[in-house]
């Protein structure tokens, strides 16, 4: 189940709606006066992940680039596989 912070465009009331992602689309259609509230950065999707995932992977598994380079040398990969 996902939690969606929403805000009423008419009254300004805010609340959290808990439902499955499949039900979210129907809820939006049934409640057009409510919009997703992105004012709280902690509830925004993807906050703090831009550009940091490579650094986290390098610190967690420092030998990962060596594994990717060896896979590159097999000749079956046309794309660059390293994190550099």
Taking only the tens place, the pLDDT of each residue in 24-80 is 999 999 999 999 988 876 666 555 555 677 777 777 878 887 887 787 777 766 666
Angle at 19 (CA atoms; ends 33, 46), nearest 5 degrees: 85
pTM greater than 0.85? no
Structural domain boundaries in the chain: 1-47, 51-79
Q: Write the CB contacts of 35 (distance below 8 Å, at least 6 apart in sequence).
A: 6, 7, 9
Among candidate residues 54, 70, 50, the one with its CA nearest the CA of residue 62: 54
Q: What are the φ and ψ backbone dihedral angles of 26, each rounded to 5 degrees?
A: -70, -40
């Amino acid at each position: 189940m996902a939690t969606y912070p929403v805000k009423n465009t008419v009254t300004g009331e805010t609340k959290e709606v808990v439902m499955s992602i499949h039900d979210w689309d129907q809820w939006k259609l049934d409640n057009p006066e409510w919009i997703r509230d992105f004012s709280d950065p902690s509830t925004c999707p993807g906050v703090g992940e831009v550009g940091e995932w490579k650094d986290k992977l390098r610190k967690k598994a420092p030998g990962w680039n060596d594994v990717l380079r060896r896979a590159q040398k097999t000749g079956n990969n046309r794309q660059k596989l390293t994190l550099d």
